[in-house]
Amino acid sequence: MYKRLSAVLFPIVTLLMIGAFVWGYQENQEKNSILIKAENQYQRAFHNLSYHMDRLHSELGNTLAVSSSSNAMHRKGLINVWRLTSEAQNEINQLPLTMLPFNKTEDFLSRISNFSYQTSMRNLEKEPLSKEELQHLKVLYKNSGDITKDLQNVQSKVIQNRLRWMDVESAMASEEKQMDNTIIDGFKTVDKRVGEYPELNWGPAVSSIYSKRSVKMLSGTPVSKEDIKRKAAQFADAGAGASIQVTENGKGTDWESYTATVKSKNHPSVVSMDFTKKGGLLISYHDNRQIGHKAVTMEQAKANADHFLNKKGYKNMAAVAADQYGNMGNLTYVSQQDGVLIYPEKLTVRVGLDNGEVTGFQASDYVYEHKDGKRNLPKPKMTVEQVRKKLNPEFKETYNRLALIKDDTAQEALCYEIGGNINGSRYRMYLDANDGSEKMVEELKSSDRQAAVR
């Protein structure tokens, strides 16, 4: 009996073992194929990074080599610098450097990219490169040469010693404190060198991109937890006996704030709010209630949001955009003054489309950009009729109004906002009220047309 059983089971077990071996071999082959593909992608990105940094260094040298009055060549050179830094940034993002301190180099390339872009986009005939900007280019030429040399040293070692990027990824993922790896050490050397470069004055256009908001920018005196309790109770319409918990966030930092959690008989769900410590200004509001099935339109949601803002003290706000996500509606509002839309003073309101009640509110932009009292708005130098001549002849205008926006350089600019249709789509065009130049173009979605745009 056992012989008969063995005779039956032996070939079955043998087949299973062979199948397991084949399966394991195929799995190993697939795994190796994936690893080889990843390694090839890393190697390609790294060698391209070294190449583009070398080209960046050369392009900066070419830009400096021409006459200081060669505005056309300066523009061409700066556009090439912007393109090459963008390529280098893209290649850095493809390398496994997330756990490696390389942020100084990435920030350095980002600033070169923004400096070259902003400078090349301006009218160099009217505003040629200044002596300070030319000096900046000389410093960037030298610095990019140093970075290129360091990367080429790493590249040479990678080629000579056949180093693998997969080993770099494994070394960074390990919890060992000491990581002796040629590639890692090389990139640390580059980042350390960049961190030692003296800070350049990149000018207001570039510096404003990297300016960080903090409570130090706000006016007003610091408020206490008791002040926040009163503010939270008032905003949430909490009646007597409401439970309000206040916690302090970021103590001793530039981001000091309070979070208030309100539970009251007047409202079945918990409401949470964030306030700045300085001035006690409301940053956000969130009603944690469950949202049911959609039953109201975006037009009804907008009407409720308008009423909510007016009731809470946000006067003269105009809806300029609307988005719908399932059973939720988000509306963007900006301030109005003397018929001018103030786009920097922006806030968003979230509405549940089950009953149209406001469930959320985000006002960080409004808090940091809002001016007490009336803004000193500039007067337009051109009429809308004059500006209209700058439009594409095929653009069919439907409305126009004045708007204050922030342009690509983060500078405020008074514009004519002109809405209309072209190529089967609807757009907003923002044209400078001083010279008619196009500052911004924005395509409108169907939800914007339904709820926020006339």
Residues 231 and 351 reside in one and the same domain: yes
**Mean pLDDT within 355-367:** 91
For the segment 78-131, what is each residue's pLDDT rounded down to a tens digit? 888 888 888 888 888 887 766 566 777 888 888 888 888 888 877 788 888 888
Strand segments (E) across 177-266: 243-249, 257-264
Specify whether the CB–CB gap between 348 and 322 falls below 8 A.
no
How far is residue 81's CA from residue 55's CA, in Å, rounded to a whole number?
9
pLDDT at 204 over 60: no
14 pLDDT tier (thresholds 50, 70, 90)? low
**Residue 177 confidence (pLDDT):** 44
- What is the predicted pLDDT for the residue at 5? 56
CA atoms of 79 and 129, how far apart (whole Å): 14
**56-65, 93-102, 336-345, 434-443, range with greatest mean pLDDT:** 336-345
Note whether 365 and 414 are same-domain residues.
no
pLDDT for the residue numbered 453: 47
**What does each C-alpha distance from 275 to 16, 186, 266, 302 come to in angstroms?**
66, 45, 22, 25
* 351 is a domain residue: yes
Taking every pair of Cα atoms in the chain, the longest distance, rounded to a whole number of angstroms, is 106
CA separation for the pair 318, 345 (Å, rounded): 11
User: What's the pLDDT band for 323 if we cut at 50, 70, 90?
Assistant: confident
| pLDDT value at residue 333 | 95
Report how far residue 208's alpha carbon sits from residue 211's, in angstroms, rounded to the nearest whole number: 5
Radius of gyration of the chain (CA): 30
Is residue 181 domain-resident?
yes
Q: What is the mean pLDDT of residues 179-202?
A: 71
CATH number of the domain at 398, please.
Answer: 3.10.450.40
Same structural domain, 297 and 407: no
Question: Which residues 6+ apart lie within 8 Å of 167 measured at CB?
Answer: 181
* Per-residue confidence (pLDDT) for residue 2, from 0 to 100: 53
- Segment 393-404, tens digit of pLDDT: 999 999 999 999
CA 266 to each of CA 233, 263, 287, 292: distance values in angstroms, whole numbers, following the listed order: 11, 9, 13, 20
Query: Is 418 in contact with 429 (CB distance < 8 Å)?
Result: yes
Question: Which residue, 369, 396, 428, sits at the end of a domain?
Answer: 369
**Among 101-110, 220-229, 407-416, which range has the highest average pLDDT?**
220-229
Helices 165-173 and 2-65 cross at an angle (nearest 10°) of 100
* pLDDT of 26 higher than 60: no
Q: Of 176, 210, 244, which residue sits at a domain end?
A: 210
What pLDDT does 91 receive? 84
Give a yes or no: residue 6 inside a domain.
Answer: no
Strand partners, 373: none
pLDDT of 165 above 50: yes
For residue 241, what pLDDT is reported? 77
Q: What percent of the chain shows pLDDT beyond 70?
A: 80
Based on the domain organization, do 318 and 279 belong to the same domain? yes
Backbone φ and ψ of 438, nearest 5°: -80, 120
180 pLDDT more than 50:
no
* Helix, strand, or coil (residue 237): coil
Q: Give the structural domain span for 42.
A: 17-210
Residue with tokens 């693998």: 164
Both 68 and 177 in one domain: the answer is: yes
The confidence score (pLDDT) of residue 382 equals 94
The answer on 318 and 202 residing in a single domain is no
- Cα distances from 254 to residues 215, 223, 229, 276, 362, in angstroms, run 6, 15, 22, 11, 20
pLDDT of residue 208: 56
8 A C-beta contact, residue 209 and residue 219: no
Phi, psi of 190 (to 5 degrees): -60, -50
Report pLDDT for 379: 93
> What percent of the chain is modeled with pLDDT above 90?
30
Mean pLDDT value across the chain = 81
Nearest to 417 by CA among 402, 432, 407, 404: 402
Q: Assign 261 a pLDDT band (cuts: 50, 70, 90).
A: very high
Are the CB atoms for 366 and 346 separated by under 8 Å? Answer: yes
| Residue 375 located in a structural domain | no
Specify the pLDDT at position 325: 82
Identify which has the larger pLDDT, 32 or 287. 287
Q: Which two tokens stand for residue 270?
A: 């918990």
Whether residue 183 sits in one domain with residue 144: yes
3, part of any domain: no
Same domain, 339 and 392: no
Within-domain flag for 306: yes
Overall number of domains in the chain: 3
Residue 217 is assigned to a structural domain of this protein: no
Burial 14-49 (b: 16+ CB within 10 A, else e): eeeeeeeeeeeeeeeeeeeeeeeeeeeebbebbeeb
Residue after which a domain boundary falls, among 334, 369, 404? 369
Which residues have C-beta within 8 Å of that of residue 178, sequence separation ≥ 6?
Answer: none
pTM (predicted TM-score): 0.65
Residue 195 and residue 303 in one domain: no
427 strand-pairing partners: 420, 443
- Please indicate, yes or no, whether residues 176 and 288 belong to a single structural domain of this protein: no
The reply to whether 362 and 396 lie within a common domain is: no
Do 243 and 191 lie in one domain? The reply is no
Smallest Cα–Cα separation from 283: which of 373, 352, 218?
218
Residue 73 lies in a domain: yes
Residue 178 pLDDT greater than 50, yes or no:
no
The whole-number pLDDT of residue 16 equals 63
Cβ–Cβ under 8 Å, residues 430 and 441: yes
